[in-house]
Amino acid sequence: MKNRELDLLIVVNMFLTGFDAKTLNTLWVDKNLKMHGLIQAYSRTNRILNEVKNCGNIICFRNLELAANEAIGLFGNSDTQGIVLLRSFEDYYNGYTDSENEYHEGYEETVKQLREQYPLPVGTDVMTEEAKKDFIKKYSYIMKLFNILSTFDAFEGKELLGEQERQHYASAYIELYYEFKNMRKGEAEDVNNDIAFEMELIKQDEISIDRILWLIQEYAKDHMQDMEIIAKIRNAVNASPDLRNKKDLIERFIEGITPGSEVDGNWEEFIKQQKAEALQQIIEEEKLKPIETRNFMEIAFRNGFVSISGTFFAQISPAMSRFAKDNKREEMRQRVYEKLCAYLEKFKGLGNDTAAEENVPTWKSLKV
């Protein structure tokens, strides 16, 4: 047996014999499994990862429906097939009544209600609080059903909500997320008792920065005449939790390009210059040590987060009088931490994730 085949066999064996692999999604079965062997094998795909991966996918080349029902009945409850196993495509799409005589709305009727009650464009600023909660619950439910239905081949062509429509609704959903997130603590707790945001499901459908740059390149090639491309870019950015805080960067970059510009190279230089300016502003505002701060942020970009553990964070801070009050020290520390976190989130994933460099060319001097 070749080494590559042996490695594959070892990996598959680890998945089937108890290795806890949350990312394992699909199991292909070509064996007559039964009882505890069937349950154990099926369970390997059901390590819950997040809202996106809320179940496993079993592809059977044998007819194991009766064996599965018997095993579930023996080790659980004979009435729990609809809980342990997914229901049919028709149930999720059209709606169903469960064993407790409770009706669950289907995808089709919920999308119809969404369109009727909240036609585009969704004006979150004129919604009542009850309407906002209802919209959040309804769109959260649609995203959950969409996530489940996407595992069925029969769903292709029946999605109802197109990409642009989903982006408009997702944009309103994210606006409400930040609105409730920024509420005063007591108010936020009251709201969170009624609703829950499904941000992992929103991120599953979001667009990448590479796709945005491709659209900008198409806009430049078209001599910057096709405003429909700009509308697509704005819709995509507004519908992305990760790109919304980068919106001003993307808008400024678009303003600086000329017809026929080569986007990729100019974007790299633009981001490099913007990162340097933004970090320099924080350094000057908080009187931080420049070299130490850049080194600190290089580690933060590499790790993906700003760490305040250890002594390194203290090394970037300006010296304070030993007579300074402890609360003033903590206030400065928290303020710097929040600024550096916001800086990291704004520039993370927009190119080379390294520390901002000194003496980079200004954006105005770039040839675009």
Comparison of pLDDT for 251 and 325, the residue scoring more: 251
Among the listed ranges 107-121, 284-298, 299-313, which one has the minimum average pLDDT value? 299-313
In a domain? residue 184: yes
- pLDDT at 49 > cutoff 80: no
- Statement to judge: residues 267 and 337 lie in one domain: yes
* Mean per-residue pLDDT, 30-46: 70
Task: Residue 116: give the domain boundaries.
Answer: 103-204
- Statement to judge: residues 299 and 365 lie in one domain: yes
- Statement to judge: residues 266 and 362 lie in one domain: yes
- pLDDT at 207 > cutoff 80: no
In a domain? residue 226: no
What 3 state SS string does the chain have? CCHHHHHHHHHHHHHHCCCCCCCCCEEEECCCCCHHHHHHHHHCCCCCCCCCCCCCEEEECCCCHHHHHHHHHHHCCCCCHHHHCCCCHHHHHHEEECCCCCEEECHHHHHHHHHHHCCCCCCHHHCCHHHHHHHHHHHHHHHHHHHHHCCCHHHCCCCCCCHHHHHHHHHHHHHHHHHHHCCCHHHHHHHHCCCCCCHHHHHHCCCCHHHHHHHHHHHHHCCCCCHHHHHHHHHHHHCCCCCHHHHHHHHHHHHHCCCCCCHHHHHHHHHHHHHHHHHHHHHHHHCCCHHHHHHHHHHHHHHCCCCCCCCHHHHHCCCCCCCCCHHHHHHHHHHHHHHHHHHHHHHCCCCCCCCCCCCCCCHHHCCC
Among the listed ranges 266-270, 313-317, 319-323, which one has the minimum average pLDDT value? 319-323
Q: Could you say which of 29, 57, 85 is where a domain stops?
A: 85
- Statement to judge: residues 123 and 64 lie in one domain: no
Q: Could you say which of 204, 229, 253 is where a domain stops?
A: 204
pLDDT band per the 50, 70, 90 thresholds, residue 88: confident
- pLDDT at 28 > cutoff 80: no
Among the listed ranges 21-25, 224-228, 314-318, which one has the minimum average pLDDT value? 21-25
In a domain? residue 9: yes
In a domain? residue 233: no
In a domain? residue 219: no
In a domain? residue 112: yes
pLDDT band per the 50, 70, 90 thresholds, residue 46: low
pLDDT band per the 50, 70, 90 thresholds, residue 226: confident
Q: How many domains, the chain?
A: 3
Q: What is the pTM of this model?
A: 0.52
